[in-house]
Amino acid sequence: MHRFLALLGLGAVAAHGLVLTLDRTVRMPLAALVVPGLSPYRPLAVGIGTLAAVLMLLIYVSFSLRRRIGTRNWRRLHYLTFGVFAAATVHGLAAGTDRWAFGLYAGSVALVTGLTAWRILTKGGTTDVPRRNRPVAV
């Protein structure tokens, strides 16, 4: 499920980029979707979003490389998701023009912060039951 949701997120990012290239108000070159800083519109803010998208793709590809790079390195790489989330949030706030979306950003930041704190305080949210003995949801 985690991998599928990551792919869904990448699809949303790709759709976002495609729609931007079709926008006639600000001409967004295709290269600006993969190279940070090439955007004619708010280059720093858009570049941060581009960097977040590239890192998101790297993290997604790492799902397939987990056995090659080892679980420890894979987990370390996945800690970059916090940076991706922060960069995407900064991108949205700095490059976006929709003020109504501020509530969505605030709610997302609160939710991620709260769930991260919960995970840290509960030592990963695990129970006393070892993973191999936990019931599997069907």
Side-chain half-sphere CA neighbours of 3 within 13 A: 6
Q: What would the pLDDT profile of 75-132 be if each residue is shown by its tens digit?
A: 999 999 999 999 999 999 999 878 888 999 999 999 999 999 998 999 765 555 555 6
Q: Which DSSP string corresponds to 8-71?
A: HHHHHHHHHHHHHHH-SSS---GGGGTSTT--SSSHHHHHHHHHHHHHHHHHHHHHHHHHHH-H
**Minimal CA–CA distance to 29: which of 43, 12, 48, 10?**
43
d(CA 93, CA 42): 12
The domain spans of the chain are: 2-95
d(CA 107, CA 115): 12
Name the band, by pLDDT with cuts 50, 70 and 90, for residue 38: confident
Classify burial at 66, counting beta carbons within 10 Å of its beta carbon; exposed 0-12, middle 13-18, buried 19 or more.
middle
What average pLDDT does range 3-12 have in this prediction? 93
What average pLDDT does range 10-20 have in this prediction? 93
